[in-house]
Amino acid sequence: MASENIKTPVLELRGITKRFGDVVANENVSLSVYKGEILALLGENGSGKTTLMNMISGIYYPDEGEILVNGNPVSIRSPKEAFDLKIGMIHQHFKLVDVLTATENIILGLDEGKLNIKKAAEKIRNICDLYGFEVDPDQKIYNMSVSQKQTVEIVKVLYRGADILILDEPTAVLTPQETEKLFAVLRNMKKDGKTVIIITHKMQEVLSISDRVAILRKGQYICDKITAQANVQELTDAMVGHSVVLNIARPEPKDPKKKLEISNLTVRSSDGVVRLCDVSFDAYSGEILGIAGIAGSGQKELLEAIAGLQHVENGNIFYIDDEGNKEQLIGKDPLKIAEMGVSLSFVPEDRLGMGLVGNMDLADNMMLRSFRKGKGVFTDRKTPHELAEHVVEELEVNTPSVSTPVRKLSGGNVQKVLVGREIASSPTVLLTAYVVRGLDINSSYTIYDLINKQKERGVAVVYVGEDLDVLLELCDRIMVLCGGRVSGIVDGRTATKNEIGLMMTRIGGSGRDE
Amino acid sequence: MFDIVAFIPRAVVQGIPLMFGCVGETITEKSGNLNLGTPGIMYVGGICGVIGAFFYEHNATKMVAALAILIPILCCLAGSLLMGLIYCFLTVTLRANQNVTGLAMTTFGVGIGNFFGGSLIKLSGADVPSIALSRTHGFISATLPFAKNWGWVGKIFFSYGFLAYMAIVLAIVLAVLISKSKMGLNLRAVGESPATADAAGINVTKYKYFATCIGAMIAGLGGLYYVMDFASGVWSNDAFGDRGWLAIALVIFTIWRPGHSIWASILFGGLCILHMFIPTGTNLAVKELYKGIPYVVTIIVLIFTSLRNRREDQPPASLGLSYFREDR
């Protein structure tokens, strides 16, 4: 087969298999990557993309199969050996030491003689100038934004002379502007002859950045396609394994009644910074109220204030029950709110921190919401167990069993468990924060579907989101926050992306000062 | 009157065992290993030195200074190294719980010390429950000859055996290594975030083993100094007391900076003996209360350190956690 006009791949995988106990993460995967291309690795959550890449970067070692670099079989037993082969990976969860500076993190573990921070910083500045990064070498990591941390990660890999860069869902945590910046950098690297593998499940990004797409499904390699000849529907179907309808339904709200009445809400963080200022709005039953805004505009504080987890400085949060009685929620903790008969469900941003206990299994996590219902001394284990099995079946959670610790599941499956549990308590108000963050397309649409079902049940849904396209397709009304203030509330059916984008950065958007 | 010239040297000799323990534990904790076995390791360090010295004293017809010093030190280092290796094997290789392992090591170490201490007492056929190794003490605690002629300067700065200076030098050298060298940077990374260090190509297991074993050996020297210098070469069971725990408290007090352990250990040493220098009359109860000062200070310090928010002053982020690369 070796003919002159076929290039040798810089990286080739042959029959790679990796198991974790009973779970097969990758099965007989073969894949080639060529010099100077940007390859998108596409797959649903838990399809084994990250595991596969971890084997190339030396974090895991394959159980079967071989890896070839520039045509030579290699054995990559540690990240250091991967670096020696000029392979570097930027992980989804950044591998940085918080208390060290950018420079210290970048040179960590390198063998270049005596420690010379100044010289290293100089070299970092050169790399930044070459590809168009912005990094302060002396800044401590804990002072950095997510996007800055990611930049440090990329520079770290380049500093080590990597020619093959693997990025694991790099855009999951970035704003659209930051994503554009990242893509510009990636294109510069491609021009410089570097090979880039990017793991993602955002179709638009696949189409805009990659030259070729390789698709994984359930740990197996499905196919690859030249991006220029592919379309969203075709890629989605290949990734999911069956045809998916890429439309979000938006039924008209039925008989909307006021459920939450929030007025003049002001919240200050523990260090005295105003997080929410004079926020007033209403949420209605049978309606999805979207909340848009740049990350950190007060979305988290707003939801936590309603859920009773955040100290409120000023204002009112009234819950209106079916008979029309108003109840003040401020000053009550979640337990008291539940005792009042207010059925509130909260899907927090930090799934494993606030939502679920990672070391507990699915059934026990279900019990966290129901353990108080039991009568005797002992908890009722049967109902949560059944609920867990129900959620697994209904939401297609990919798990060996309901007695698997939640932390062992992939991000999307964790989210499904959490959403499933919260919905099972049949709430009247459902608060969700970035509920599809990190989820693949199929899981996301499952979640949108679930949220819509709740809406049809007459639940007042508050949906904090970051993807404006989705907000505009899903929500009945969209409230835009800007720096802790309400920038405006628009109709989801008539508003445009541009209009909301402007309101996100300026109070009232363009309409106000023109 | 409060006699400062008499007080400081006594505070220093009280503080030196704590300094060894604190420096040893600090470098151990920098690697993310919370070795609560340090008190036990210090016991083992002490008794191993005693065993070496005991047999040398009893078998050598004429003692050579170099051997009289080297044998106890090498025995002490070997014993504490073994303890460090056991701890590492359990927590790093087998990934056992660090707290449980550490506490077990302390119980084990104290038991070993008392067992062999008791055996030696029997062997020596002494009528008091202790072993006196006064000749070895003589060699190890020898001071510079001119120290006596220098008045209070000699008393405060030059009246100690060489192990005391070694503790200070070790503290300074390790402080510089940790903050300035590549090895120190790697070690800090291992303790903060082993996954990061691993991804950067640092051998996490190796660093944890080395830091913990070197830390154990340093801590063991504290036990040796206590018996051979401070206690004039007399070993009696349980005499070392809970100095090991104070050393661990000192690590928090010094916010994981070995340089600070120099003054902090001497301060704690001073607090331990304050009751002898403050006139308390005949009321023994007051004296006993004074003895509690170091522990009260430790509690106050713990409260203050937990209130402190600066990221640089926090314990290594992965302290107490075991690391497994393929863990998900």
B chain contacts of residue A89, beta-carbon cutoff 8 Å: 199
Q: Which of B192, B195, B202 sits opposite A98 (nearest CB)?
A: B192
Residue A440: give its domain's CATH number.
3.40.50.300
Q: Looking at the structure, tell me whether residues A200 and A123 fall in a common domain.
A: yes
Q: Does A18 touch chain B (CB under 8 A)?
A: no
Nearest to A79 among B201, B312, B317 (CB): B201
The arithmetic mean of pLDDT across residues A30-41, rounded, is 92
Query: Could you tell me the residue ranges of all domains in chain B?
Result: 19-313
Q: In chain A, which residues have their Cβ closer than 8 Å to the Cβ of B195?
A: 95
Fold exhibited by the domain B19-313: ABC transporter involved in vitamin B12 uptake, BtuC (1.10.3470)
Beta strands in A258-313 (DSSP E): 258-268, 274-284, 287-292
Half-sphere exposure of A89 (CA within 13 A, CB side): 29
Residue A89 pairs in a beta bridge with A166
pLDDT tier, B328 (very low <50, low <70, confident <90, very high otherwise): very low
Residue B1, pLDDT score = 57
Question: Are A69 and A189 members of one domain?
Answer: yes
- Residue labelled with tokens 């209106």: A320
pLDDT of A511 higher than 70: no
Q: Which residue of B has its CA nearest to A406?
A: B328
Can you name the residues that pair with B278 across neighbouring β-strands? Answer: none
Please indicate whether, in this complex, the C-beta atoms of B192 and A78 are within 8 angstroms of each other: no
**In-domain check, residue A252:** no
**Tokens linked to A469:** 């396209």
Q: Which residues on A lie below 8 Å from B312 (Cβ)?
A: 99
- Same domain, yes or no, for A310 and A382? no
Q: How many CB atoms lie within 10 A of CB B150?
A: 14
- The pLDDT tens digits for B125-139 are 878 888 888 888 988
Contacts with A60 from chain B: Cβ below 8 Å: 325-326
Helices (H), A132-260: 146-159, 176-191, 203-209, 232-240
Q: How many CB pairs under 8 A join A and B?
A: 76
Between chains, do B193 and A110 touch, taking CB under 8 Å as contact? no
Q: Is residue A63 part of a domain?
A: yes
Say if CB B43 and CB B113 are below 8 A apart.
Answer: yes
- pLDDT one-digit tens code per residue, A460-482: 999 998 888 888 889 999 999 88
Nearest CA in chain A to B180: A115
Same domain, A274 and A295: yes
- Whether chain B has a CB inside 8 Å of the CB on A91: the answer is yes
Handedness of CA B47, B53, B56, B57 (dihedral sign): negative
Query: A147 or B194: which carries more pLDDT confidence?
Result: B194
Domain identity same for A120 and A210: yes
CB A455 within 8 A of CB A475: no
Contacts for B258 with CB less than 8 Å, ≥ 6 apart: B22, B23, B26, B27, B170, B171, B172, B174, B175, B178
Question: For all residues of chain B together, what is the average pLDDT?
Answer: 89
Residue A274 predicted with pLDDT over 90: no
DSSP secondary structure string, A60-82?
Answer: S--SEEEEEETTEEE---SHHHH
Listed range (A237-251, B23-37, B217-231) with the worst mean pLDDT? A237-251
Specify whether A37 is located in the same domain as A167: yes
Interface residue A119 vs chain B (CB under 8 A): no
CA-CA distance, B66 to B68, in Å (whole number)? 6
Question: What is the spatial distance between Cα A145 and Cα B244, in angstroms, rounded to a whole number?
Answer: 42
pLDDT digits (tens, 9 = 90+) for B36-69: 999 999 999 999 999 999 999 888 888 888 899 9
- Give A478's contacts (C-beta < 8 A, 6+ positions apart): A289, A290, A291, A292, A471, A472, A489, A490, A491, A492, A495, A500
Nearest to A59 among B182, B188, B199 (CB): B199
Q: Are residues A421 and A432 in the same domain?
A: no
Burial of residue A316 (CB within 10 Å: 0-12, 13-18, 19+) is middle
Interface contact flag, A79 B198, Cβ < 8 Å: yes
Supply B169's token pair: 């030098």
Enter the DSSP assignment of A355: I
A99 vs B198: CB contact, 8 Å cut-off? no
The reported pLDDT for the residue numbered A3 is 40
Contact A96 B193 (CB under 8 A): yes
Check pLDDT > 80 for residue A202: no
How confident is residue A509, by pLDDT bands cut at 50, 70 and 90?
low
pLDDT (0 to 100) of residue B326: 65
> Minimal Cα distance from B313: which residue of A?
A99
Write out the residue range of the structural domain in which residue A262 sits.
Answer: 258-343+427-511
* Cα A307 from chain centroid (whole Å): 22
Same domain, A405 and A445: no
Q: Does A96 touch chain B (CB under 8 A)?
A: yes
Q: Which residue of A has its CA nearest to B200?
A: A109
Is 90 exceeded by the pLDDT of residue B81?
A: yes
- Substitution target in A19, A45, A85, A97 with the highest count of B β-carbons within 10 Å is A97
Mean pLDDT, chain A, integer:
85
Residue A234 sits in the same domain as residue A88: yes
Q: Is residue A120 part of a domain?
A: yes
Mutate to test the interface with A, among B193, B206, B312, B318 (most CBs of A within 10 A): B193
Q: Please count the structural domains in chain A.
A: 3
Please identify, among A208, A240, A272, the residue that sits at the C-terminal boundary of a domain. Answer: A240
CA-CA-CA-CA dihedral for A103, A104, A106, A109, to nearest 10: 150
pLDDT (tens digit, 9 = 90+) per residue, A160-175? 889 999 999 888 777 6
Q: Do A109 and B200 touch (CB under 8 A)?
A: yes
Q: Which of B197, B311, B325 sits opposite A108 (nearest CB)?
A: B197
**Tokens linked to A513:** 């000062």
| Domain end position, chosen among A240, A273, A295 | A240
Handedness of CA B16, B20, B22, B27 (dihedral sign): positive
Same domain, A58 and A19: yes
Relative to beta strand A274-284, strand A258-268 is antiparallel
Amino acid A133: pLDDT: 85
Nearest Cβ partner of A97 from B189, B203, B325? B189
Q: Region B301-311: what's the mean pLDDT?
A: 74
Question: Do A226 and A82 belong together in one domain?
Answer: yes
Look up residue B169 and give its DSSP letter.
H
Residues A415 and A457 in one domain: no
Please judge whether A59 and B325 are an interchain contact, meaning their C-beta atoms are less than 8 angstroms apart: yes
By the CB < 8 Å criterion, does A100 face chain B? yes
CB contact under 8 A, A407 and B192: no
C-alpha dist (Å) from residue A335 to A265, A332, A352: 21, 8, 20
